[in-house]
Amino acid sequence: MNYPGGIKHKIKNDKTTTINTNYGNRGMTLENELNSSNDYYRLIDKAIIYKKPTPIKITNVDYPSRDKAVIKEAYFTVPSTTDYNGIYKGKYIDFEAKETKSTTNFTLRNIHPHQIEHLKSIEKHGGIAFIIVRFTILNETYLMPINKLETFLDNNNRKSIPIDYFREKCYLIKDNLKPTVDYLKIIDKLMEDKNG
Amino acid sequence: MNYPGGIKHKIKNDKTTTINTNYGNRGMTLENELNSSNDYYRLIDKAIIYKKPTPIKITNVDYPSRDKAVIKEAYFTVPSTTDYNGIYKGKYIDFEAKETKSTTNFTLRNIHPHQIEHLKSIEKHGGIAFIIVRFTILNETYLMPINKLETFLDNNNRKSIPIDYFREKCYLIKDNLKPTVDYLKIIDKLMEDKNG
């Protein structure tokens, strides 16, 4: 049996700290961990993947001096695409990452329908498209290829994906030291499965 | 002989308007034209390429109501990467686009050194990396593959690239109706040259 982040993780946490026991890797957010993992991948020249800047609509900019611009009013806008993209082994990589505090399911409202369409389109064009979902309380992080998400959506009318679907059909990203979220290990596996 | 945007363009402009004769395509910026070209490529499902949002450091956010966030103070930051990336024919595409009002050369100060490093790295990883430079007064737009930029930098100690280098060593992106900046036509040619 596989208890991702269960028994194994408890032991690990006992060793380091008793605070935030079940709240994931040392209290870091998934975004921070992915950014540092991507930094590491770039450092060892394994992949070039970045988080895109947050899309913002700027409505007022002030120029207190010639070379300095201060944005005085701006609004967050709905992103057209996903948060992360880049290149790995010559392939275009594209994904969205989300955290949930739920211990039972992942609400689909967390991902915009046009982001799902975008990921489907990327796969059609020969890219590698997926989502990464972390159940923070359980400290379980999964990689779900876009085709698994499509299969779920085609066969279910639910507004959320139960954790068992992740556990049974998706790929657990095991806790790792460096990089913290070694999601390219899963991509290697998916590439192997495709080629062999 | 090749007079990019010269004789041919004068005739075209006489037909349409006498204002802004030599200021490029109907006063649209290169960025706007690239965005609409990318929209068109997506519409016909040819490629999925987007401009990334402008990177900004947010220092103060106000929440006037529960669901609304207003950014009250933020600053433009130096981008880590380039402005545009995406996928075309299964390949990862990455580029930066710049306009200049000069009629004689393109100042290298316009491109950050780490952007050049980024593009070199992308090519090394199997992606297609280039810059697009528009000489707005001349209405000449060129695609310069990153290896041509490297060759220039390796052999010159200059702080700018003369227009002749673009005219002789790079690829003119001809004015087009739809999309306005049909740069993927040049990429097709580069892909052919590589394969054949």
Identify which has the larger pLDDT, A19 or B74. B74
**In sequence order, what DSSP letters do the residues of B78-144 get, joined into one string?**
--SS-SEEEEETTEEEEEEEEEE--SSEEEGGGS-HHHHHHHHHHHHTT-EEEEEEEETTTTEEEEE
For residue B56, which residues of chain A lie inside 8 Å, CB to CB?
53-54, 56, 71, 74
Mean pLDDT (whole number) for B121-147: 97
Identify which has the larger pLDDT, B102 or A12. B102
pLDDT at A11 over 70: no
| Residue B56 to residue A55, Cβ atoms within 8 A | no
| Residue A126 to residue B89, Cβ atoms within 8 A | yes
Chain A residue nearest residue B76, CA to CA = A69
How far apart are the C-alpha atoms of A2 and B138, rounded to whole Å? Answer: 65
B70 reaches A (C-beta below 8 A): yes
pLDDT at B78 over 90: no
Q: Cα distance from B85 to chain A (closest Cα, Å)?
A: 8
Burial of B135 from C-beta contacts in 10 A (0-12 / 13-18 / 19+)? buried
pLDDT > 70: what percent of chain A? 86
Band of residue B16 on the pLDDT scale cut at 50, 70, 90: very low
CA distances from A54 to A51, B9, B19, B35 (A): 9, 39, 38, 18
Which of A44, A49, A51, A92 would you mutate first to test chain B, the one with the most B CBs within 10 A?
Answer: A92
| Confidence (pTM) | 0.84
Those of residues 116-135 in B touching chain A at CB distance below 8 A are 118, 121-122, 125-127
Is-contact B103 B116, C-beta < 8 A? no
Chain B residue nearest residue A42, CA to CA = B121
Chain B residue nearest residue A93, CA to CA = B92
Band of residue A194 on the pLDDT scale cut at 50, 70, 90: confident
| Residue A75 to residue B76, Cβ atoms within 8 A | no
- A57: its two tokens: 């609509």
For residue B85, which residues of chain A lie inside 8 Å, CB to CB?
85-86
| Residue A45 to residue B72, Cβ atoms within 8 A | no
Sheet hosting strand B140-145, strand order edge to edge: B47-51, B84-88, B91-100, B128-135, B140-145, B171-172
